[in-house]
Amino acid sequence: MKQLIEAIQSGNISAFASPAIHVYEASFTQIGSTSLVLVRTEAGKKLIAVGEGDLYDQLQGEIVDGGKAAPLSHENRLTLNKFLPYTAPQAFGTQVATMGLGDRLGIASPGHIQTIRGKDIRPVLAQQSIRELALTGRTYEDVLDAAAYAVLQEGYKDGYGADGDHLKKEEDIEYALRLGFTMLTLDCSENIDNTIESLSEAEIAAKYEQLPASLRSHYEGRYLLAAPNVPGATLAYTPEALKKDVLIYDAAINFMEAIFRKYIVTLDRAVDFEISIDETATPTSPEAHYLVANELRDRGVAIFSMAPRFCGEFQKGIDYIGDIAQFERELASHAAIAVHFEYKLSIHSGSDKFSVFPLIGQYTNGLFHIKTAGTNWLEAVRVVAKVNPSLYRRMHQYAFEHFNEATAYYHVTTDINAIVPLAEVSDADLPNYMEENNARQLLHITYGLLLQAKNADGSKQFADEFFQTLAEQEDVFAAGLRHHIGRHLELLGK
Ligand SMILES: O=C(O)[C@@H](O)[C@H](O)[C@H](O)C(=O)CO
């Protein structure tokens, strides 16, 4: 360590070389009289600080050879945020394309930064839903810590976001905001009445008539007397369709407004407020999208992005399923509506939707928000399949045996019996599972079960070996992300 300390003191860390210590040269930073670098040793990653001053004094660590070796702790991350503002998340607003790069493991962000750096799009590195936290056993503190240290490690100073994703409960919104999350994705699925879809026209009319007359005349006056004029959007309301949309979305619109007034308007900082109506059984027609957006604008609710549920299937970790011509027609209207109301269209379950990425880039004019998460986990699984076949086989088999349990969390149409049996696949061919939709979804939605699985003695059945493998293959994992997420960006026109 002494030679490293001397190299840092001289500001010439590129001259330092050691088989036991990998220095992330891009992390080298000088603040006042403190010099700082992030390194990887056999014992894991740590900060090495040299010099004196507030930053040096406030970092918690042990003195080694005249310098300070500090853990990548939550407390030290908060200190770094104070002295290195670029390590704290920021809101981006509606005028720059953004990409959610959900990292369920806390080790993918370096590869994400290497992929996105220099492109006309900004990363939301700290994106996790409460569902993901529950399944991985992580906290939002963990998510922010991992993203901030990755930003330091890569010396990335173009800004990153932190998205409290698919938040339904006020306590979760308060939790994310308290920690400084800069994006909130309000999941309105529990306020959207999907039961309306199964009613007959007569039942819908009868239910609609039970609404207050003032509410009915409000909607009828705004949407039936004249078709909305949104350049690029094809919108036509019929009395029957309007009644259905009012019954499906009115309560959700009230929920959106209530959360906006209670949590967003009262903030002393910018937060990107996203409305998510994608995780519902009801596809969002362009007319329904316009109705929700128009009501929000007239209530003074300003949003950063809206995530409709598109026609067809945006399932996890695999390409679009559906009629691409219909998707294109409706996408044109959805994108035009977003432009009209001055927010970005948000594409959830954006992982691997390669067949429609060019359309999304085209119709949004490159101004969109897209979310990925599962595909980043699957790139880690791909690395394991390549370098640790025994572990992959055990994980695959466990996922197969527990698949039905995982379908409680994610909507998929996977046929696990179509997956080639492990016994018929050589070690060399295991990575090919990541090219097959059913296997991708098998390994995708069971991530929580796999990471939390325990042996009889309480030890982790896979997680420790999984993370050790990924730590040994850090560069392979980053290269895989650069390739795979790079393909996403290329097809999106970035
Ligand atoms: O798995 C989750 O809960 C999230 O990744 C969620 O699916 C996210 O909003 C998303 O769409 C990622 O593609």
Per-residue pLDDT reduced to its tens digit, 444-453: 999 999 999 9
Structure tokens at 343: 């927010």
Asked if residue 206 has pLDDT above 90, the reply is yes
* Best CA proximity match to 350, nearest among 263, 299, 271, 276: 276
How close is the Cα of 18 to the center of ligand 1, in Å? 40
Which residue ranges make up the annotated binding site for a divalent metal cation?
A: 166, 316, 348
Identify the DSSP state of 429: G
What 3-state class would DSSP assign to 80?
helix
Distance CA 181, CA 196 (A): 35
From the alpha carbon of 349, which atom of ligand 1 is closest? Answer: 13
Exposure string of 121-150, with b = 16+ CB inside 10 Å and e = fewer, is bbbbbbbbbbbbbebbebebebbbbbbbbb
Residues 68-83: pLDDT tens digits? Answer: 999 999 999 999 999 9
Q: Which amino acid is at 80?
A: L
Residue 229 scores a pLDDT above 90:
yes
Q: How far apart are CA 260 and CA 267, in angstroms?
A: 10
Name the β-bridge partners of 460.
Answer: 454
Centre of ligand 1 from the C-alpha of residue 349, in Å: 6
Nearest to 304 by CA among 356, 252, 250, 342: 342
- Ligand 1 test: best mutation among 124, 129, 407, 443, most atoms within 8 Å of CB? 129
pTM of the model: 0.96
DSSP H or E run through 166: strand 162-167
Are 442 and 403 in contact, with CB atoms under 8 Å apart?
A: yes
C-alpha 429/C-alpha 422 separation (Å) is 10
Closest CA to 309 of 283, 338, 345: 283
Question: Separation of 102 CA from ligand 1 center, angstroms?
Answer: 7
Tell me if 185 sits within 8 A of 163, measured CB to CB: yes
Using an 8 Å Cβ cutoff, are 362 and 409 in contact? no
- Angstrom CA distances, 272 to 8, 157, 263, 297, stand at 38, 19, 12, 16
Q: Name the 3-class secondary structure at 484.
A: helix
Q: Of ligand 1's atoms, which has the minimum distance to the CA of residue 132?
A: 3
Q: What is the ipTM of this complex?
A: 0.96
Better-scored residue on pLDDT, 97 or 17:
97
pLDDT of amino acid 12: 87
Active site residues: 165, 274
- Note whether 188 and 284 are within 8 A (CB): no
Q: Report the pLDDT value the prediction gives residue 10, as an integer from 0 to 100.
A: 87
Distance CA(146)–CA(220), nearest Å, equals 50
What is the structure's pLDDT at 75? 98
Least Cα distance to 155 among 185, 117, 209 occurs for: 117
Give ∠ CA 152-474-350 in degrees, rounded to 5.
Answer: 80
Nearest residue (CA) to ligand 1, atom 9 = 348
Residue nearest to ligand 1 atom 1, measured at CA: 132
Q: What pLDDT score does 181 carry?
A: 98
Q: Are 398 and 435 in contact (CB under 8 A)?
A: no
Average pLDDT score over residue span 133-155 = 98
Closest by CA to 376, choosing from 144, 154, 99, is 99
Protein residues with CB under 6 Å of any ligand 1 atom: 102, 129, 131-132, 165-166, 348-351, 371-373
Summarised one tens digit per residue, pLDDT across range 348-379 is: 999 999 999 999 999 999 999 999 999 999 99
If you average pLDDT over every residue of the chain, what do you get?
Answer: 96
pLDDT tens readout for residues 330-345: 999 999 999 999 999 9
**Residues in the annotated binding site:** 166, 316, 348
Q: Whose CA is nearest to atom 5 of ligand 1?
A: 373
Measure the CA–CA gap between 44 and 448, rounded to whole angstroms. Answer: 24
Ligand 1 pocket test: pick from 168, 172, 279, 316 the residue with the most ligand atoms within 8 Å of its Cβ.
Answer: 316
The total of other beta-carbon atoms located within 10 Å of residue 454's CB is 11
pLDDT at residue 350, as a whole number? 94
pLDDT for 15: 85
Per-residue pLDDT band at 329 (split at 50, 70, 90): very high
Q: What is the CA radius of gyration of the chain?
A: 24
How far, in Å, is the centroid of ligand 1 from the Cα of 462? 23
Q: pLDDT tens digits, residue range 388-424? A: 999 999 999 999 999 999 999 998 999 999 999 999 9
- How far apart CA 447 and CA 406 sit, in angstroms, is 9
Nearest alpha carbon to residue 50 among 74, 75, 23: 23
- CB neighbours of 404 closer than 8 A, spacing ≥ 6? none
- Calculate mean pLDDT across residues 455-481: 97
pLDDT at position 250, please? 98
DSSP state of 47: E
Average pLDDT over residues 20-25: 95
Of 168, 313, 349, best ligand 1 pocket probe by most atoms within 8 Å of the beta carbon: 349
- The alpha carbon of 129 and the centre of ligand 1 are apart by a number of angstroms equal to 7
DSSP line for 205-273:
HHHHHTS-HHHHHHHHHHHTSS----TT------HHHHHHHHHHHHHHHHHHHHHIIIIITT-SS--EE
Q: Identify the pLDDT of residue 281.
A: 86
Position in ligand 1 atom list of the atom nearest CA 316: 13
Rounded Cα distance between 96 and 441, Å, is 31
Query: What is the predicted pLDDT for the residue at 435?
Result: 97
